[in-house]
Amino acid sequence: MSTNDSRQVRLLWGSVAVVAAIVVATLIDKGSIGLQLILSGLTVGSIYALVAMGFSVIYSTTRVINFAQGGFSMLGGMLMYTFSVQAHLPPWLGLILAVAIVTAFGAGFERAAINPLKDKSVITIIIITIGLSIFMTAVAKWIWGTDPVKIAAFTGEKPLRFLGASLVPQSLWVFGFTLLAVVLVFAFFNRTLLGKGMRAAADNPDAASLVGVSSSTSSLVAWTLAAGLGAAAGVVIAPINFAQYSAGTTLGLKGFSAAVLGGLGSAPGAVVGGLVLGVLETITASYLPSGYKDAVAFLILILVLLVRPQGLLGKPESVKV
């Protein structure tokens, strides 16, 4: 192992030790309240993980950072409100419709705006995703207004007791969706020919085309998956946090920070990054004024970019000269 590799391993394990020490110190200092904070952090972190996986899916196949990812989550939550509250549909049907519509929207946007510009610079496409985020926020504000909206929990709201802490049943849905998404995304990219071809297309489009996977197909599938992941995140968190037209910006920035922390392009890294970020946020809010909570994500983002740019589970990218 080279000196640089040894240093990276030490940094990785050092980061794990720091997070573990913070969690243990919180449990010792606050007892059951500390456990409550950690459970809340894991719930929020699971949502960050779903959003972060959307970032990673697109980045791993196209090397583009989609800053509209949070908008997909916001749109999923608002559509869930429309179907389950305004249209009085069963939650399961509202969930399916919301995710399906946002997924189709993501695929359609890729065909209409991203694919025609595939020969343009990555910066150009990133700017377009920022424009899409602004567009979705404006349209959501026009359709649903500025007031936050409440959506009923999928299976009741009576808290579950655990070692002095409480956990709302909706959190179990969040954990379940996150686990399912991780398994499916990992299996797709590592067990299917299309998934393997998509990963290869990002680094070697010519080789990927030999197995029938073009860069155009990779981009379409990646955007479709990312939109579905984002919508699912927005739907399952809506009963816990009020759905609102402006929620996409915050979710997008937190999801991006989680993706960078775990390693852009790594689905397991996105989950680790999301969970770590969620737990650290809730712990910080218990010791400092709540306004500092949002600063944690951006502080972590800066530190990771300075110390370990590839993230906790990412691999350094080789640069050809």
Using one digit for the tens of pLDDT, what is the confidence trace for 37-88? Answer: 888 889 999 999 999 999 999 998 888 899 999 999 999 999 999 999 999 9
* Residue whose structure tokens are 């990555």: 122
At residue 2, the 3 state secondary structure works out as: coil
Domain membership flag for residue 210? yes
Report the DSSP beta bridge partners of residue 160. 167
Asked whether residue 321 is assigned to any structural domain, the reply reads no
Give me the percent of the chain exceeding a pLDDT of 70: 88
Within a domain: 36: yes
Task: Read off the tokens for 233.
Answer: 């995140």
Supply the CATH number for residue 270's domain: 1.10.3470.10
pTM: predicted TM-score of the whole model, two decimal places: 0.87
What residues contact residue 216 under an 8 Å CB cut-off, 6+ apart? Answer: 115, 118
Domain extent at residue 193: 3-307
Mean of the per-residue pLDDT values of the chain: 84
pLDDT-derived band at 20 (thresholds 50, 70, 90) equals confident
**Per-residue pLDDT tens for 309-321?**
777 776 666 544 4
Residue pair 209/198 in contact by the 8 Å Cβ criterion? no
Is pLDDT of 93 > 60? yes
Decide which of 281 and 163 is more confident.
Answer: 281
pLDDT at 310: 79
Q: What angle do CA 45, 308, 7 make, to 5 degrees?
A: 125
Confirm whether 264 is domain-assigned.
Answer: yes
Nearest to 229 by CA among 262, 190, 188: 188
pLDDT tier at 156, thresholds 50, 70, 90: confident
Rounded distance, CA 42 to CA 236, Å? 14
Q: Is residue 312 part of a domain?
A: no
Residue 320 lies in a domain: no
Number of domains composing the chain:
1
Candidate from 34-43, 207-216, 251-260, 296-305 with smallest mean pLDDT: 207-216
Distance from C-alpha of 91 to C-alpha of 70, rounded to nearest angstrom: 22
When pLDDT is cut at 50, 70 and 90, the band that residue 169 belongs to is: confident
For residue 161, give the 3-state DSSP assignment: strand
Does 81 reside within a domain? Answer: yes
Count the alpha carbons within 13 Å of 121 in the hemisphere toward its beta carbon: 3
Range with the lowest mean pLDDT among 43-52, 151-160, 204-213? Answer: 204-213
What pLDDT sits at residue 12? Answer: 61
Residues 54, 59, 64, 68: what is their CA dihedral angle, to the nearest 10 degrees?
10
Between residues 163 and 187, the one the model is more confident about: 187
Determine, yes or no, domain membership for 303.
yes
pLDDT of residue 53: 92
Average pLDDT, integer, range 123-127: 91
